[in-house]
Structure 1
Amino acid sequence: MLIARLLAETATLAGKLDAARSELLDHGWPVAMAETVISGEDAIELLLPEGEAGVVRSILGRHFAPCDLLVTDRPIAAPQLFVSDMDSTMIGQECIDELADYAGIKPQIAAITERAMQGELDFRSALRERVALLAGLDEGAIARCLAERIRPMPGAKTLVATLKGLGCDTVLVTGGFHAFADPVAEELGFDRVVGNRLAVASGKLTGYLDGPVSDSATKARTLAVEAERLGAGTVSLAMGDGANDVPMLQAATFGIAYHAKPKAREAADGWIERGDLTAVLELLGIAKEDWTRG
């Protein structure tokens, strides 16, 4: 049994639903039930006795685009563990790109970032290359960048606060840097942070990392360790937008790609492409009166 939940424009919902059901039936996958979900007026749920989740996502994604979507063969429930990427997921920026602007090299670094997030470059090598280009930048640029450039994604505070209010453990895990992630996590309410550290000497960035690299394997490992700590049967939610989030998205009970690059979207159980981060709460079936507004 597949469960598909989606958020789409109500004005055209009926016609799009008929077309999607017809295409699903062409694959031999009848829709057993279609009904609204308590979490929102524009949320509907489809039940399919059989089907391939990836193909069902593709069909629904085409017919209802733009939409927010989750397709899974598991009962949908609020998670006990939430592990999220930071850059372009919980915040609207790529921190290293913004920091590079204070060194006058944003276009050069942003181009490398984009290719790494698309999965065209090895993440570790691309990270070290970008960090090396920042050598000599005054450490004070980090605080300025935080104050002047870094902002939470719409809905981020409400998402984290609501999940925590339901007893969920929350971890911010990033291929970016603690210098940004720690204050972001404090602002948003995350319980724990995993990330990289920029090496500093005499008040200047050295162009090196201080300690091990936090990468895609780190993200997946963090989710596994935290889920094991919470115990068997832990329902986990992972979110991210780039290729380095793929292993984490695949390992979670529910992996959701947020306004994501193609590789992350393909790997996830669903995606947000229409709404803000509170759309995740709607897809999980958490009624709006139960949200904790951040």
Structure 2
Amino acid sequence: MLIARLIAEATSLETRLDAASEALASAGMPVAEASMLDFCGDVLQIALPHGDTKRVAATLEEHFGECDMLVADHAIEIPRLFVSDMDSTMIGQECIDELADFAGIKDKVADITERAMRGELEFETALRERVGLLEGLGERAIDNCLAERITPVPGARTLVQTLASKGCRSVLVTGGFHHFADRIGQQLGFERVVGNRLAVHAGVLTGKLAGPISDASTKLATLEEEREALGEGARVLATGDGANDIPMIEAADYGIAYRAKPKAREAANGRISSENLTVILKLFGIPESEWVQG
């Protein structure tokens, strides 16, 4: 059984559902049942005897627009592990771009970031190039950047804390930097943080990285390590927005692309267009009365 859930407005719901059902049936994926989810009144659940999750997601998006959606090849349940990207996923910014602004080179760095996140540049090369441009910047700029520029995405803490209340372990794994991620992780309630380290000497950034690179393979390896520790049958949620998140998104039971670049969105079986991350709680059938407000 394949289950699809999406946040659906009441306006023209029946008409859009009929059209989507017809399209799915024409593709050999007939709808068995469709109803609004109990306790989450704006969540439409659609059950199909069989089908391809990505094709179902694409078909539903054709008829419902870029809505918030999750499609799974099993009964959807609250995950026991949540692994998330940080920049532009748990926070609304790309830390390295904002830090570069303190060095007066934001436009140059942001262009490299955007191309890397779209999968147009090799991640490690792009990361080392951007870090190199920060050589000579005082370490204090990181504290100023955190205080003045970096803000959590709406609903991020509520998402992490509510999942924790349901027994879900959370891990923040980023291609960004521990200087930022350790504090963001603590603020939001993540239990583990994995990321890159900026090399610092005498209070100044050297333009180098200290230690191994945290990249797409690191994100995937972290997810697999954590899943293995939980044991067989543990469902995993992963969220991200860029090309380097694709391996962990594809490996997760629930791979959700949050306001993502096209390649990441296409790879995911869950897609979030809304800004507030609490829509993920709705898609898992957790009523607002049970949310842990951040």
TM-score (norm 1): 0.98
- The answer as to whether partners of 2:241 and 2:258 remain within 8 angstroms in 1 is yes
Matches within 5 A, 1:86-97: 86-97=86-97
Aligned partner of 1:63 in structure 2 is 63
- The answer as to whether partners of 1:6 and 1:70 remain within 8 angstroms in 2 is yes
Q: Which moved more, 1:149-158 or 1:61-70?
A: 61-70
Could you tell me which runs of 5 or more consecutive residues in structure 1 were left unpaired when the two chains were aligned: none
Aligned partner of 2:258 in structure 1 is 258
Separation in 1 of the partners of 2:113 and 2:14? 41
Aligned partner of 2:3 in structure 1 is 3
Matches within 5 A, 1:161-200: 161-200=161-200
Give the CA RMSD over aligned residues.
0.9
Aligned partner of 2:149 in structure 1 is 149
Any idea what SS the aligned residue of 1:11 has? coil
The Cα shift of 1:22 comes to 1.3
1:93 maps to amino acid:
Q
Any idea what SS the aligned residue of 2:221 has? helix
Aligned partner of 2:273 in structure 1 is 273
- The answer as to whether partners of 1:68 and 1:275 remain within 8 angstroms in 2 is no
Any idea what SS the aligned residue of 2:11 has? helix
Aligned partner of 1:35 in structure 2 is 35
- The answer as to whether partners of 1:238 and 1:252 remain within 8 angstroms in 2 is yes
Separation in 1 of the partners of 2:45 and 2:181? 35
Aligned partner of 2:158 in structure 1 is 158
The Cα shift of 1:155 comes to 0.5
Describe the superposition over 1:97-118 as per-residue Cα deviations: whole angstroms up to 9, x where unpaired.
0000000000000000000000
The Cα shift of 1:276 comes to 1.4
Identity of aligned residues (%): 60
Separation in 1 of the partners of 2:101 and 2:233? 45
Aligned residues: 294
- The answer as to whether partners of 1:97 and 1:106 remain within 8 angstroms in 2 is yes
- The answer as to whether partners of 1:39 and 1:282 remain within 8 angstroms in 2 is no
Describe the superposition over 1:178-226 as per-residue Cα deviations: whole angstroms up to 9, x where unpaired.
0000110111010010000000011110000010000000000000001
Could you tell me which runs of 5 or more consecutive residues in structure 2 were left unpaired when the two chains were aligned: none
- The answer as to whether partners of 2:153 and 2:275 remain within 8 angstroms in 1 is no
- The answer as to whether partners of 1:8 and 1:66 remain within 8 angstroms in 2 is no
Separation in 2 of the partners of 1:275 and 1:95? 18
Separation in 2 of the partners of 1:234 and 1:227? 7
Any idea what SS the aligned residue of 1:10 has? coil
- The answer as to whether partners of 1:4 and 1:71 remain within 8 angstroms in 2 is yes
The Cα shift of 1:140 comes to 0.5
1:101 maps to amino acid:
D
2:45 maps to amino acid:
E
TM-score (norm 2): 0.98
Separation in 2 of the partners of 1:160 and 1:213? 26
The Cα shift of 1:52 comes to 1.8
Matches within 5 A, 1:109-128: 109-128=109-128
